[in-house]
Structure 1
Amino acid sequence: MQTVKRLPRSAPPSRLDMNDLPQDLIANVLSFTGPRESCRLAVVSSTFWSASLSDTVWDRFLPPDILSILSRTTNASDPDFASNKKDLFLRLCERPILIDGGRKSFSLDKRTGKKCYMISSRDLHIIWGDTPRYWKWVPESDSRFGEAAELVGVCWLELKGTIPTTMLSPSTLYTAYLVFRSPQGGYGFDHQPVEVSVGLSGSDKTVRSVYLDAGMVKRKERGDGSYEVELGDFFTKEGVGEGELEMYLAEVKGGNWKGGIFVEGIEIRPKEAK
């Protein structure tokens, strides 16, 4: 009977200690996740925590044209802008900056790092907006722009905001919102919807109806006393040439007078997951 020789048992492989990995390697891996995931992984170990603070990570989360955007603000000398990339990212998520002469604001979406903008009422095209009988520009201390457009009273309501699509993040589903206040409740909107649409200028758009009156729709409160109503969605296709995104709101069919709202602007931000 032939004897079978047993081979010597090899020693089990040593367990890999994540703390032994080079910090630069960990930082590079984290940069391919996302802002939220990077913060979660930072609690794995002290090495991950140190790597998560690296500019390598947060430079990838910031828009590639961030320096160009910062050059358009009067606060470009703000010390926060010269700090590390993580602090800059969080600063732009929590405190929008004014750009383009204070007519727009820029911020970042904390979940994704995508660009967010708000077009001030001063930068909107408002029919009869320069006629004090119908519209007035009033100081607004709670507004990031310091003022708002007060709708005194009109029977023909029409306003439009535009922004180049190249200013937005590519391959992103955006939602546009009208941001306004109605301290006295407003009037003329209780049973009359307004028509809204979002899409490229010069293209066919889907028009839908929304209500600005609190009794007809659940307006979303923003936490600063203002409200927002959704105007529509738009997807920015990567590789598509320059175009102009147009956001439109009108009530021209009812014929009734309406007023009492203060328009702050139109905000465009990545669509929130429900």
Structure 2
Amino acid sequence: MGTGCGDICALPEGCISDVISLTSPVDACRSAAVCTTFRSAAVSDTVWERFLPPDYRSILSRAVQPVEYSSKKELFFRLCESILIDDGKMSFSLEKSSGAKCYMLSARQIFIVWGDTPEYWIWHPLPESRFSEVAELVDVCWLEIRGKIESSILTPKTTYAAYLIFKADPDSGGLGFVNQETTVKLGAQVSAHTVNVQPIVSGRPRYRHRLYFLNQIWDAMLEEHADAEENKIAARAPQSRADGWMEMEMGEFYNDEGEDGEVEMNLMEVKGGHWKSGLIIQGIEIRPKK
């Protein structure tokens, strides 16, 4: 005798909840359309508690603002929107399809060479940033940005990627030449790439720093005489985000069992020797790689 949908729906709701909790948030939402019993089971706290990370209570205790919710399903989708934690220096969210953890380190949470020197970098609020302030590049010839995060706080058995979240001021200069280099390391894993945060420049940038004419000449020389071999390297380009920012993938890593270890993320451009300006840093985001 075959088993139809009616037979499945005749199972105890608790049994159905246990089965649904072994699937995914996406499957749980879909299963609600099967029948009334499935719909009731699919919204139960038993199901959505399984989709939340084991340490979600600890994460909620670090939230800048209390997170209010009436059910575990509501909490799950609230966390998919991201919350500020650790005095607003980091944000946390869940990937909606899998429930995997995502973090963004604010500009204050990462290390920027000469970041505390107003002659080179300034800090100021920006309404579209999720954090209270961003770092804006005034003038540097040595660009180096580094971030770290403990692998143990990430979701195990997950491939992650790190992304620099940034904007380029309309008056930025020197960012398109030479390419930047990124590395992401976890233990023996090393992911390295050649990137360019401003691969397309419309018109000549207006330099705001004191070396206006020298930079203009220097950039013109770079454009005309850039090393042929280096130009053969296909640099990664940034991608636009729905929130109005740009993101540059810095590299990826596989977080096996979530064992103790530090993920190191670096972006550098120190070989060109020319001045750069107008890069606005919101932070570095670590999220599952699609």
TM-score (normalised: structure 2): 0.84
Aligned-partner residue type, residue 159 of structure 1: I
* Structure 1 residue 220: Cα displacement: 1.3
**Larger relative contact order (Cα-Cα within 8 Å, sequence gap ≥ 6):** 2
Following superposition, the deviation at residue 224 of structure 1 comes to: 2.2
Counterpart residue number, 2:17: 27
1:245 counterpart = 2:230: no
Instruction: Give distance in 2, aligned partners of 1:199 and 1:74.
Output: 30
Corresponding residue SS for 2:284: strand
- Partners of 2:123 and 2:286 lie apart in 1 by 22
More helix by share: 2
**Alpha carbons 2:43, 2:73 under 8 Å: kept:** yes
Q: CA RMSD in A?
A: 1.7
How many residue pairs align between the two structures?
A: 255
State the Cα deviation string for residues 92-120 of structure 1 (Å, max 9, x = none): 11x21111111100000001100000000
Q: Does residue 36 of structure 2 align to residue 49 of structure 1?
A: no
Letter in 2 for 1:173: T
Flag the 1:194–1:42 CA change in 2: closer, same or farther, 3 A: same
After superposition, the C-alpha distances for 1:29-68 in whole angstroms (9 at most, x for unaligned) are: 0000000111111111111111100011000000000001
Structure 2 residue runs of 5 or longer lacking an equivalent are 201-234
Deviations 1:137-187 (A, max 9, x none): 011111110311001110000010001111111111000000001131622
1:9 aligned partner = none
Identity of aligned residues (%): 49
Deviation at 1:79, TM superposition (A): 2.1
String of CA shifts for 1:170-228, please: whole Å, max 9, x gaps: 11100000000113162212231111000137x57343210101417542111222100
Runs of 4+ residues over 6 Å off in structure 1: none
Mapped pair 1:161 → 2:179? no
Q: Among residues 77, 84, 87, which one is paired with 2:71 in the alignment?
A: 84
Structure whose alpha-carbon radius of gyration is higher:
1
Question: Equivalences for 1:121-270 in 2 at 5 Å?
Answer: 121-184=107-170, 186-200=172-186, 205-215=190-200, 218-238=237-257, 240=259, 242-270=260-288
Q: Does the 8 A contact of 2:195 with 2:237 survive in 1? A: no
Amino acid across the alignment from 2:154: L
